[in-house]
């Protein structure tokens, strides 16, 4: 038995992670659990692990088979997020970066609804976070690759 396996054996913790945010596949609701065998058996009594849809299973398998791609993609999205934040700030936006593959942003002088309408007219769809009190003034945008983000900045300019 490997040392890592032995450490899980007596560990009482359950660790959950999501594939969704980093890869912009939140709609699939794909997550995984790491725990010792007893904890997994306990979880199996209250949750059907087979309830994941087929599309999510296929995506998960592909992700697990190509972890170098995933790591590189996450690095690129992080670089892209930095670039987008700087560019939007130059355009008089206030930007909040996240660790989840999206940014929150609002223009300092243009109303949120106008910004959303302008972006949607250009084919850029954002999410309005008006139903959450802490983010009611912000819009949310997923961040893609650096090439996609450069195209986005050109469109916004």
User: Any idea which residue has 């396996």 for tokens?
Assistant: 5
Q: What is the pLDDT along the chain (157 residues), one digit of tens a residue?
A: 455 555 556 777 888 888 766 676 767 778 888 888 888 888 888 877 777 888 888 888 888 888 898 889 889 999 999 999 999 999 999 999 988 888 999 999 999 999 999 999 989 999 998 888 889 999 999 898 999 999 999 988 8
What SS3 class is residue 105? Answer: strand
Cα–Cα distance for residue pair 35/14, rounded to 1 Å: 5
pLDDT at 153: 94
pLDDT at 1: 44
Residue 106 near residue 92, CB atoms below 8 Å = no
Cα–Cα distance for residue pair 81/76, rounded to 1 Å: 8
For the chain, give percent helix, strand, coil, nearest 5: 55, 15, 30
Domain spans of the chain, in order of start: 3-65, 71-156
Integer-rounded Cα radius of gyration of the chain? 20
User: What are 126's strand-pairing partners?
Assistant: none
For the chain, what's the residue count? Answer: 157
User: Any idea which residue has 């469109």 for tokens?
Assistant: 155
pTM over 0.75: no
pLDDT at 114: 95
Give CATH for domain 71-156: 3.90.1150.10
């Amino acid at each position: 038995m490997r040392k890592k396996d032995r450490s899980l054996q007596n560990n009482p913790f359950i660790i959950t992670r999501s594939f969704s945010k980093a890869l912009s596949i939140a709609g699939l609701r794909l997550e995984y659990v790491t725990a010792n065998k007893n904890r997994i058996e306990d979880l199996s009594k209250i949750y059907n692990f087979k309830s994941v849809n087929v599309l999510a299973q296929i995506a998960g398998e592909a992700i697990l088979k190509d972890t170098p791609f995933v790591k590189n993609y996450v690095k690129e999205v992080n670089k892209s997020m930095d670039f987008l934040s700087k560019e939007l700030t130059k355009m008089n936006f206030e930007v909040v970066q996240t660790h989840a593959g999206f940014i929150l942003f609002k223009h300092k002088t243009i109303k949120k609804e106008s910004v959303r309408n302008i972006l949607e007219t250009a084919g850029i769809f954002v999410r309005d976070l008006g139903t959450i009190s802490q983010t009611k003034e912000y819009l949310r945008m997923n961040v893609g690759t650096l090439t996609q983000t450069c195209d986005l900045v050109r469109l916004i300019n």
